[in-house]
């Protein structure tokens, strides 16, 4: 790949990121919570119950950042944090009823949003798109370290 192709890749990704609205993730909000908190709600909802360490690993955040995010969600009444009865260092996170409702609404709206995008792709290009995105995400992960 020459410099023009890598520059073109960079520009395509930059436009995609901007159009999906993830560049301003720290300032953006999702249903009255930050995008980071929204990601946590989705992962907890998908797992139904997850440890603080597992959640931090899944979201690729350090434990202290994840802990602050969860503290804010606890204060908002969206999650509960439970200590393991035998090992108080092991913290389990679950959604409250209010958190479950937010999770359900978020998943539904994101599903609709991405379905609309996917349906806008010509049918004969959809498999190619998914394959290419998988290759790209694998390459990003590989070059992250």
Q: Are 37 and 102 in contact (CB under 8 A)?
A: no
Region 120-136: what's the mean pLDDT?
A: 94
Host H or E run for residue 86? none
CATH code at position 37: 1.10.10.10
Does a structural domain hold residue 12? no
Which residues, 6 or more positions from 2, have their beta carbon under 8 angstroms from its beta carbon?
none
Per-residue pLDDT for 13 more than 90?
no
Report the alpha-carbon distance of residue 140 to residue 145 in Å, rounded.
Answer: 9
Does a structural domain hold residue 33? yes
Tens digits of per-residue pLDDT, 19-64?
Answer: 776 544 444 456 678 888 988 999 999 999 999 999 999 998 999 9
Does a structural domain hold residue 76? yes
Does a structural domain hold residue 98? yes
Determine the pLDDT at residue 25.
46
Tens digits of per-residue pLDDT, 79-114?
Answer: 999 887 787 778 899 999 999 999 998 888 888 888
Q: Are 90 and 70 in contact (CB under 8 A)?
A: no
What is the number of domains present in the chain?
A: 1
Domain extent, residue 132, equals 29-144
- For the entire predicted model, the pTM comes to 0.78
Does a structural domain hold residue 109? yes
Determine the pLDDT at residue 75.
96
Does a structural domain hold residue 21? no
């Amino acid at each position: 790949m020459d410099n023009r192709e890598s520059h073109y890749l960079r520009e395509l990704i930059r436009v995609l990121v901007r159009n999906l609205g993830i560049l301003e993730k720290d300032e953006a909000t999702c249903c009255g919570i930050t995008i980071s908190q929204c990601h946590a709600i989705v992962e907890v909802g998908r797992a139904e119950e997850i440890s603080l360490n597992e959640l931090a690993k899944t979201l690729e955040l350090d434990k202290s950042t994840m802990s602050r995010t969860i503290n804010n969600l606890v204060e908002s009444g969206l999650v509960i944090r439970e200590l393991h009865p035998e090992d108080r260092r092991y913290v389990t996170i679950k959604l409250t009823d209010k958190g479950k409702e937010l999770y359900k609404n978020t998943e539904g709206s994101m599903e609709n949003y991405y379905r609309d995008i996917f349906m806008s792709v010509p049918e004969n290009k959809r498999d190619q798109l998914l394959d290419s995105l998988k290759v790209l995400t694998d390459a990003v992960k590989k070059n992250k370290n």
